[in-house]
Structure 1
Amino acid sequence: MKVVVIIPSRYQSSRFMGKPLADVLGKPMIQHVYERVLQSKTAALAAVATDDRRIFEAVEKFGGRAILTSPDHPIDEVVQPLLEDWTVDFSTLVYRIRRDEEVSDPNAVKVVFDRDHFALYFSRSTIPFVRDRGKKADYWKHHGIYAYRKSFLVAFTRLPQGMLEQLEALEQLRALEHGYRIKVVETAFDSIEVDTPGDLERVKALLAGRKP
């Protein structure tokens, strides 16, 4: 089985314009992502898919593989067939939240799942909600890394958006709304979502060996 990793990269971000080209210790952030992917033992090939010429040229400059797409192409069309589990169509990673501030942070997407580790719901809100004082809950953060079967991804791109996806702005909810199951796999590694300049500073500190 040949695993191909496609890294979607957009310049036009409402929260952090030009994020992929932000300098992180002398390299654009997209280069750090690309190099981490190539360190994977399962990835046979990696490529950056972007609709922006600046990102395309930056990737080629550091020797990476880049694909220039149309600005009208939805991210749904980017195929990332990391087919590690043949019993499910769609899987993703979750991380147990350890910092209290992330529980209420809408940029940290939370997920609840059943005993078989299939997702029940994803939300920017705090889930589960603890009604009674004195009770504690485990909170899980969703990492935006997916593995799909190609057949599922083709079907997924044809599904209409549902109300939940539109309200939460979370595309994985489209799968749940249409009856698909999403397998969640716990990882011991946290990640920093770079959505603001403040997040970028945390990444710089982490890569420099300082506490973010």
Structure 2
Amino acid sequence: MKIISMIPARYSASRFPGKLMQDLGGKSVIRRTYEATVNTNLFDDVYVVTDSQVIFDEITSHGGKAIMSIKEHECGSDRIAEAIEFMDIDIVVNVQGDEPFTEVSALRKLIDVFKYDDKKEVDLASLMVKITDWDEITNPNTVKVIVDNNNFALYFSRSPIPYPRDETVQAVYHKHKGVYAFRKEALLDFYKLPMMTLEASEKIECIRYLEYGKKIKMVETDVQGVEIDTPEDLERAKKLWK
């Protein structure tokens, strides 16, 4: 089974433009993420896939592997799908370019989902982490996920799910971490299928898989990590790096 990692990387970001090229301990955020992913030794290959010449040059000038996107893409999955369409691979893991603190054990758990999926029932796997802070639960920037008894995703939302109508019920909330492992075929299906209403409404790309009947296995982790979405996040990451 050939397993690679792809790191989708846009230069422009609505909340923090150019964040991937910001300095983190003497190297750019995207270079830190790339090197951390390579150093996990979990992948046959690691690439940054980008629409930015600046990011492409940043990776390749330091000996890394990068691919320039040919088309414009609205989401990271589409960007990766274009890049891997003609590659001879089985599994591709999407590592977020703005999360430089790569957590090896969590990535290994994602890959293991496919290693032990003898019936090939799983189309993709992703991470979730338990959250208890109500501000985070109600924050629309935090994507929540609910699962069935076998940890297959039922739905993703920016709203609090489940809704706590009965406050005596001890509801459990999980945040979706945007790290995915895909079967190649499932990702190419995603690329070719049009966006439907639920995905368009929530602006959560993995909803497209559910709308078309794909199975998403969620893997619980206790590692929150640091996602760099704002200048404040970057300062927090710098302190953690030290």
TM-score, normalised with respect to structure 1: 0.90
Give the superposition deviation at 1:36.
1.6
8 Å Cα contact 2:11/2:55 also seen in 1? yes
What is the rounded CA distance, in whole Å, between the counterparts of 2:135 and 2:127 in structure 1? 20
8 Å Cα contact 2:125/2:219 also seen in 1? yes
Give 4+ residue runs of structure 1 displaced > 3 Å after superposition. Answer: none
Letter in 2 for 1:44: D
1:81 paired residue number: 92
Letter in 2 for 1:48: V
What is the rounded CA distance, in whole Å, between the counterparts of 2:212 and 2:173 in structure 1? 25
Instruction: Out of 185-194 and 116-125, give the one that drifted further.
Output: 185-194
What is the rounded CA distance, in whole Å, between the counterparts of 1:198 and 1:17 in structure 2? 13
1:45 paired residue number: 45
Letter in 2 for 1:68: M
Give the superposition deviation at 1:41.
3.3
5+ residue gaps, structure 1, are none
8 Å Cα contact 2:69/2:79 also seen in 1? no
What is the rounded CA distance, in whole Å, between the counterparts of 1:67 and 1:136 in structure 2? 46
Give the superposition deviation at 1:166.
0.7
2:19 paired residue number: 19
> Closer, same or farther in 2 for the Cα pair 1:158/1:100, shift >3 Å?
same
8 Å Cα contact 2:21/2:29 also seen in 1? yes
8 Å Cα contact 1:90/1:152 also seen in 2? yes
Give the superposition deviation at 1:40.
1.8
Please say if 1:196 is aligned against 2:230.
Answer: yes
8 Å Cα contact 2:9/2:49 also seen in 1? yes
Please say if 1:105 is aligned against 2:139.
Answer: yes
Letter in 2 for 1:20: L
Give the superposition deviation at 1:59.
1.1
Query: What is the CA RMSD across the aligned residues, in angstroms?
Result: 1.7
* Offset from partner CA, 1:84-112 (integer Å, 9 cap, x none): 41331111111111444321222211100
What is the rounded CA distance, in whole Å, between the counterparts of 2:191 and 2:147 in structure 1? 24
8 Å Cα contact 2:128/2:218 also seen in 1? yes
Letter in 1 for 2:190: F
1:154 paired residue number: 188
Letter in 2 for 1:96: K
8 Å Cα contact 1:143/1:191 also seen in 2? no
Give the superposition deviation at 1:13.
1.1
Counterpart of 1:139 (choices 173, 178, 182) is 173
Letter in 2 for 1:26: G
Give the superposition deviation at 1:117.
0.5
How many residues align structurally?
208
What is the rounded CA distance, in whole Å, between the counterparts of 1:58 and 1:98 in structure 2? 38
Larger fraction in helix: 2
8 Å Cα contact 1:90/1:181 also seen in 2? yes
5+ residue gaps, structure 2, are 85-90, 94-110
1:72 paired residue number: 72
